[in-house]
Amino acid sequence: MCTHCQKAEAEPRRTTREAGVTLIELMVTLSIMAILLGIAMPSIDSAMVGSKVNSYANSLVASSNAARSEAIKRNTAVTMCVSADGASCSSGGWEQGWIVLAGTDVIVRQEAASNGFRLTGTVSSISFQPTGVGATQTTITVCRATPTAGAQERVVSISATGRASTARTHTGVCS
């Protein structure tokens, strides 16, 4: 065997490749992430809208239940009405906010809805008798102001007995 061959076998082989990520690999990864994010964004937006619509519908139901409960507890008529200022009843849509009144006492105060949401009903005031029975039967629709086809809506129904319930609809018409 030659001395040069023995020396080459004795020395460890060196690799010149460094560990790391190339620019091309990084660009491919970022491109894939951008595509996946673009696909996920409409779903995230839809979930946020659905959450806000649910929140407003649940607030209406909770306020209605509070009004009914206070009417029974105080043995007097209690009113839930549209309120722009949070202190007195006013006319207009429920998206302005609402209050629950027992005489002149404000029991519950709900702030106005965010821009882009509508709360429409057939009446602007709902009364509950001392027995808890609702003197006014109504429905209030909670939706986006400019819905798209298949939009998320909630219909809050307050029966003549004073019970409130919600139903999900997807008509895409905010009325």
Is the pLDDT at 149 greater than 50? The verdict is no
Question: Would 157 be classed as within a structural domain?
Answer: yes
Q: Say if 60 falls within a structural domain.
A: yes
Owning domain of residue 91: 25-169
Q: Across the chain, what does the average pLDDT equal? A: 83
**Rounded percentage of the chain residues whose pLDDT exceeds 70:** 84
What does the pLDDT read at residue 79? Answer: 92
Count of structural domains within the chain: 1
- What tens digit of pLDDT does each residue of 31-49 get? 999 988 888 777 777 777 7
Quick one: pLDDT at residue 67? 92
Please report, for residues 28, 32, 122, 124, the alpha-carbon distance to residue 39 in angstroms, rounded to integers and kept in the order given.
17, 11, 39, 41
Segment 52-60 shows an average pLDDT of 90
Residues of the chain above pLDDT 90, percent: 30
pLDDT of 12 higher than 80: no
pLDDT in tens, 62-106: 999 999 999 999 999 999 999 989 889 988 889 899 999 998 889
Q: How many CB atoms within 10 Å of residue 145?
A: 12
pLDDT at position 49 is: 78
The continuous run of DSSP H or E covering 50 comes out as: helix 23-74
pLDDT, tens only, 100-129? 999 888 999 999 888 888 888 888 899 999
**Is 127 part of any domain?**
yes
CATH number at residue 113: 3.55.40.10
- Among residues 169, 135, 170, 120, the alpha carbon closest in space to that of 64 is found at 135
